[in-house]
Chain A
Amino acid sequence: MIKVRIPTPLRPLTKNQGEVDVAAGSIADLVNTLEASYPGIKARLCDDSGELRRFVNIYVNEEDIRFLKGKDTALKTGDEVSIVPAIAGG
């Protein structure tokens, strides 16, 4: 299983869970698996073509997927994935 850290803005979609465990072989697979359990989450993370939106980052074991293989980044059991919302303010 892969441990996925859910940031505060997405927790209303995950029944307020800050961490969920998912079985997935890649980031794209993980997003689809999350979507099956928590409908609506994919649209928050990815645009219509499936690319990561510019106001979110995903890290695998502290490494940014933009510098790995993006949504094709492979995952293995024990990996930790963090969904990171944009730094923001008012």
Chain B
Amino acid sequence: MADLVIPQHILDDMIAHARELAPYECCGLLAGTHGVVSRMYRITNIVAMEGAQNLSSFDPAKVAHLERLSPAERAEIAFVMDMQDFSTAKKDMRTHGLDLQVVYHSHPHDPARPSVTDIKIATDYEEIWPKINLPNPTYLLISLMHSTPDVKNYWITSGQVSPAPFTVR
């Protein structure tokens, strides 16, 4: 399959989003057509909202870890997408005939590769995408652990992670 194409201005905007929210994790979606991204949606990270950790697919150890932290600290190591924002983005995609292509989030302190939690939740979500009429997206990570941001994209399928290279144009 041809590499996904991400326009430079959208890549820059994602990195800006990650930097604006650091040390907290940012999250969002990319959509487009024919393998070319044309729109980015910033989604609010509501992991600090009461009860959010209980209705995501975090494993019990991660929930216990999150509950030991203050709400602000939780957002440094996790994200939960605001599904109101998600619904609005999904509607916009439909209006403009765009396909969901990428779910992105930042790792302010860690490398640009999916965490155990990322892999578990993405795997749980595989059965949900068809129910909500969306294709399986790739997962893009923005690491801010070094002065130059590192951005990598992956397929996560049945617990297995494989690179999903992209081209910036």
Contacts and interface: CB of A to CB of B under 8 A. Distances in A.
A53 B90 CA distance: 18
Given A44-B54, A82-B128, A82-B132, A89 B118 contact: yes
A85 interface: yes
Contacts, number: 111
A89 B115 contact: yes
Interface residues of B, number: 41
Interface in B74-113: 77-84, 86-87, 90-91, 103, 105
Given A54-B83, A59-B132, A88-B47, A9 B115 contact: no
Interface residues of A, number: 25
Contacts of A56: 55, 83
A16 B47 CA distance: 25
Interface in B134-155: 139
Contacts of A88: 47, 56-58, 78-81, 117, 121
A64 B93 CA distance: 14
A66 B87 CA distance: 7
Contact of A57 (B87, B105, B117, B125): B87
B57 A54 contact: no
Nearest to B124: A8
Contacts of B46: 54-55, 86
Interface in B55-72: 55-58, 62
Interface of B: 25, 27, 46-47, 49, 51-52, 54-58, 62, 77-84, 86-87, 90-91, 103, 105, 114-118, 121-122, 124-125, 128, 131-133, 139
Interface of A: 5, 7-10, 44-45, 53-57, 59, 62, 64, 66-67, 82, 84-90
Given A45-B55, A88-B121, 5 more contacts: A8-B124, A54-B46, A59-B132, A66-B84, A84-B132
